Structure 1
């Protein structure tokens, strides 16, 4: 009975409290594991050179703090704790109380997932051991206490040079800083070859070769000035580009290659926002392809809606397009009759391919 009560108490704790409880003793670690707390998804934030943060992704736009670990040259011996059983390194645990949390790595006591929602306790682990080893041991421990074997979301900054984080099972990556060069992008995608979603909220410097692993990623979001080669070489499923320098002929060629089944075999959604002040001639694009306009007298010929639910981490929430509208024209692939729906105005093109 006492064990059952203890497990019930664990289920009432938040993720940070569960993590700290697991460090107290072997008995508390065992209690946490027996409570079988599970999480939907874990995130690893490496946006400061000496600190990483792990959180629980609770929905598309929000995450909850679990812990942060800072590498220091030397420990404050007065506060050293032998952090066991799950993490086999000596560390100091620093804690504080935030009245108005607003997460920033300069102040790990803050929390972007719950800004302005009352007081918040925060902690940070400080250690002097080799950073790559610490990252792996911390990930292994958190996976263990939350019974987690799923993929991680990784948030990176280009401020830090040197080794990329030593974590496994990375499928979703967001890179956010002023600029990122293509060499760094290649290094990231080589280090984490199972990447399924990539979000770059930075200005990309340099060109991407046609054989770049960037084009193999299934879901890509880029908020940077770029050219037509970004979608011309793409072989994935979902792409969202902001600030594209493009011509009508580039877009016509895109559509013709899909219609003829020459390329874009796996494409589900492509959204292109052109670079200001560039404008495109939507009529010219439509005149170059065969299409069918919407017939309000036969609405059932089209799906009612198209839901774009591409996993671009935090940059694109789920969006629903109303296809039974004159704004969209229907085009078909010659080889198999597969349908797609096209929206085009002077500043934007949306190309949607329903799965059925």
Structure 2
């Protein structure tokens, strides 16, 4: 049997469960996963944990990317199982689970499967993660998608670095955010994709310690006034010009935002009065006779966006400010209701132009070709 000829990782996973010999062949084949993601959601009234990986193919003709999910397996947590067609699977470390396998064919012809199990959820989640890490030789970090609100325990997944919350039609309270971030204390990035945060976040909330944040929720100014991380993108922000001025002044004086690399926010409605901000802040404008005083471009590299975004700085749309204490520079742009604030760094020279897109202005993407 040639394991490497199997067409997808689902087949490899299922083969490994058949016997000790097939598991040995799978491990020996050294088939690896590029990354591992978990999706926690409701299915048929039960909690379900999907395990797979994702890739981000880019269409440079349109200047867009999409996330493509490649499943490995999923487990549906049932209270009981019918004895008919139940198999005992061994997931290593003497862990066994009575399991019913369900399979079906998607419209595109892809065959999928699901494990239905009545074992204690926390136990089988841990065992399944360790088993997949073992057979696919994976030791990297993990991403967790929360597609449902967890009234009880969150998934028992270790080494979670990136978290994305996509809970439709549900209110997210600050207490729930705290629960998530304390359950996975090694978090690096947090994306909240729905406009449903309700309630005030306390200043000592672990939310403000997350290094990379993207929030699509209607929210006020404290969202970024208390931010201590590196990168933030905010959508639907209620933000008066005085708060923008206060933010920039605090950065210039080195009073706050010491770790900040990039901040982009989009006002909920209306445009930013850039003239009012410029009256209160000393900006250095672009001098087209001395273009070399600025870097040619700025590459935004952050876990909250799977692609590198490239911005060209040598034009009149970008202004420059300097931090008093160390002369550190930052580049600022206002465009209707959008503001970019990028702290200068050594330029990133991407080895492959397919890794990024160029941002000409808000809403316009062009390829480098």
Task: State the TM-score, normalized to the length of structure 1.
Answer: 0.89
- The equivalent of 2:205 in structure 1 is 212
- Offset of 1:61 from its aligned partner? 2.1
Give the conservation status (yes or no) of the 8 Å contact 1:41–1:57: yes
Alignment of 1:63-212 (within 5 A): 63-86=69-92, 88-100=96-108, 119-177=109-167, 178=169, 179-202=171-194, 203-212=196-205
- The equivalent of 2:55 in structure 1 is 58
Are 1:16 and 2:3 an aligned pair?
Answer: no
- Offset of 1:148 from its aligned partner? 1.0
Q: Unpaired runs of 5+ in structure 1?
A: 1-5, 101-118
Q: Distance in 2 between matches of 1:85 and 1:280?
A: 56
CA RMSD of aligned residues (A): 1.5
| Runs of at least 4 residues off by over 6 Å | none
Q: Distance in 1 between matches of 2:5 and 2:319?
A: 52
3-state SS in 1 of match to 2:255: coil
Cα-to-partner distance string for 1:43-76 (whole Å, 9 max, x where unaligned): 0100225211001122372221111100122223
Give the conservation status (yes or no) of the 8 Å contact 2:91–2:128: no
Give the conservation status (yes or no) of the 8 Å contact 1:271–1:350: yes
Cα-to-partner distance string for 1:172-208 (whole Å, 9 max, x where unaligned): 0011123211110010001111110000112101000
Cα-to-partner distance string for 1:282-315 (whole Å, 9 max, x where unaligned): 111112111211122222211111111211166x
Give the conservation status (yes or no) of the 8 Å contact 2:213–2:232: yes
Q: What number of residue pairs does the alignment pair up?
A: 329
Give the conservation status (yes or no) of the 8 Å contact 1:88–1:137: no
Q: Distance in 2 between matches of 1:160 and 1:213?
A: 19
- The equivalent of 2:264 in structure 1 is 271
Give the conservation status (yes or no) of the 8 Å contact 2:3–2:25: no
My pick for the range that moved more, 213-222 or 127-136, is 127-136
Give the conservation status (yes or no) of the 8 Å contact 1:197–1:313: no
Cα-to-partner distance string for 1:5-28 (whole Å, 9 max, x where unaligned): x4x533543111111111111111
- Offset of 1:158 from its aligned partner? 4.0
- The equivalent of 1:228 in structure 2 is 221
Q: Distance in 2 between matches of 1:313 and 1:305?
A: 18
Q: Distance in 2 between matches of 1:82 and 1:279?
A: 61
- Offset of 1:258 from its aligned partner? 0.7
- Offset of 1:38 from its aligned partner? 1.6
Q: Distance in 1 between matches of 2:338 and 2:86?
A: 57
- The equivalent of 2:233 in structure 1 is 240
- The equivalent of 2:299 in structure 1 is 307
Give the conservation status (yes or no) of the 8 Å contact 1:143–1:149: yes
- Offset of 1:279 from its aligned partner? 3.0
- The equivalent of 1:113 in structure 2 is none
3-state SS in 2 of match to 1:230: helix
3-state SS in 1 of match to 2:17: helix
- Going from structure 1 to structure 2, the CA distance change for 1:274 and 1:258 (only over 3 Å counts) comes to same
Q: Distance in 2 between matches of 1:289 and 1:192?
A: 40
Q: Unpaired runs of 5+ in structure 2?
A: 57-65, 347-369
- The equivalent of 1:27 in structure 2 is 21
- Going from structure 1 to structure 2, the CA distance change for 1:344 and 1:14 (only over 3 Å counts) comes to same
3-state SS in 1 of match to 2:145: strand
Cα-to-partner distance string for 1:248-282 (whole Å, 9 max, x where unaligned): 11000100111111111111100010012x33211
- Going from structure 1 to structure 2, the CA distance change for 1:324 and 1:313 (only over 3 Å counts) comes to closer
Are 1:254 and 2:247 an aligned pair?
Answer: yes
Task: State the TM-score, normalized to the length of structure 2.
Answer: 0.86
